[in-house]
Chain A
């Protein structure tokens, strides 16, 4: 396990993943540089979520190499897949954030506690430190007034912004988004996309699975088009959307 490049926050090399007999990821490779925003697009069932879940330790790959923030999550050693130990896995989990389609906020915690709980109990920050981080993030998310609310009293858009704040709180090197606006009404989508756009301007490294083509085109540096468990095409965001090379990409984009 070697060859770690510090400018590359995420390295995925030839990963494979099957569920029962269905090979959902059939050799995916990608690299994400520090400060880069990569959008992942493609038809439903193409393996986008599975890719994110493998990168975020929620699923284990069958083969391949994943490196996050310089730490090797898994790699092939002498033709055998080797996963890192629990300690390093925990370390790796502190290097990324994950934003889910349906938020997955903790309903029994206030907005503040949703954001500070991991800071205090995983990252061992003091309560005042955690509160300060939380206040800063809520301000950024335009949710200052909601610190003491419970998630059930917020709109979907507000809940998603809280979950973005929760993912940002631990100051990760990279954030993964899995269709962050797909569960939202169209009018609530805008606020969430605006927040992500601001993060892009601040050079936050992000991988975003999305169906918002104009957002992907305008905000992402690079777009990866996935279908049937493989990367069909990738390239600079604007080029890929306006001038796709592959027939499958063209057909997919024609639907938007």
Chain B
């Protein structure tokens, strides 16, 4: 009996710790999406710019951010200011650096996804809108973007689901998100149980996200 009690108590403790960390996980997830999607659109516009310098810079950006480990980018953003300029940005900077690195990294992926979507649009859509008198921004926001959103949704969904799991990388900056806490609990308890519970959390979150994304996809399936 005593042993079962002990197990339940440990499990409960682990749960409490993970739930506390889950707030950070959610924050990293939400803020990254909030910043990386608009930034991705901007970089995508730059990448498709007719001005060679801008296009080249955006190409280089995308290539580097996609071509190097996110973990390395996290460390660079966090330690960079200190090693390069000897400025110390305090303890809060751990979290801020995490959001910056994640947003910069995911923006690169989103930029390429958006570019694929925009380039898949037929020239005829722009031309029809032009001769009807729509302005450039009307054409973009009324005609092009809604269709692009539908086209890129599957790829964007992929990135969103990957992001849920990638939030665990914030551990390298000791941000006390869920995975950091799971690791700590696991080594303290000398047990894999915290990892399994954390895994269930990630999986449950992704199930929910998948459900929502499916609904969104369905809501756009009225045309093809």
CB <8 Å contact, B127 and A107: no
By a CB distance below 8 angstroms, the chain B residues around A96 are: 131
CB <8 Å contact, B133 and A170: yes
- Among B126-164, those with CB < 8 Å from A are 127-134, 138, 142-143, 146-147, 150
- Among B103-137, those with CB < 8 Å from A are 122, 124-125, 127-134
Q: In the complex, how many residues of chain A place their beta carbon closer than 8 angstroms to a beta carbon of chain B?
A: 26
By a CB distance below 8 angstroms, the chain B residues around A62 are: none
1/0 contact string of A78-103 vs chain B (CB within 8 Å): 00000000000010011011101010
Residue of B whose beta carbon sits closest to that of A117: B142
Task: Say if the beta carbon of B222 comes within 8 Å of chain A.
Answer: yes
Task: Say if the beta carbon of B5 comes within 8 Å of chain A.
Answer: no
By a CB distance below 8 angstroms, the chain A residues around B134 are: 118, 121-122
CB <8 Å contact, A58 and B142: no
CB <8 Å contact, B223 and A100: no
Q: A interface, by DSSP: helix, strand, loop or mixed?
A: loop
Partner of A94, one of B127, B133, B224: B133
Question: Looking at A97, A104, A151, which has the most chain B CB atoms within 10 Å of its CB?
Answer: A104
| Tier of interface size on chain B | 20 to 34
CB <8 Å contact, A104 and B127: yes
Residue of A whose beta carbon sits closest to that of B146: A108
Residue of A whose beta carbon sits closest to that of B128: A104
- How far is it, in angstroms, between the C-alpha of A56 and the C-alpha of B130 when the chains are bound? 10
Q: What's the A-B contact tally at a CB cutoff of 8 Å?
A: 58
Give, as a whole number of angstroms, the nearest-CB distance from A6 to chain B.
Answer: 22
CB <8 Å contact, B130 and A58: yes
CB <8 Å contact, A108 and B147: yes
Task: Say if the beta carbon of A166 comes within 8 Å of chain B.
Answer: yes
CB <8 Å contact, B131 and A90: no
1/0 contact string of A156-199 vs chain B (CB within 8 Å): 00000000001000100000000000000000000000000000
CB <8 Å contact, A56 and B131: yes
Q: Which 7 A-B pairs have the closest CB atoms?
A: A104-B124, A104-B128, A122-B133, A118-B132, A150-B223, A98-B131, A93-B133
The residues of B with any CB-CB pair to A shorter than 8 Å are 122, 124-125, 127-134, 138, 142-143, 146-147, 150, 222-224
Query: Can you list 23 A-B contacts (CB < 8 A)?
Result: A93-B130, A93-B131, A93-B132, A94-B133, A96-B131, A97-B131, A100-B124, A100-B127, A100-B128, A106-B129, A106-B143, A107-B224, A108-B147, A108-B223, A117-B132, A117-B142, A121-B134, A121-B138, A121-B142, A122-B132, A122-B134, A151-B223, A170-B133
Known: A104-B127, A152-B223. 18 other contacts (CB 8 A): A57-B130, A96-B131, A100-B124, A100-B127, A104-B124, A105-B128, A106-B125, A107-B224, A117-B132, A118-B134, A121-B134, A122-B132, A122-B133, A122-B134, A123-B133, A151-B223, A166-B132, A170-B132
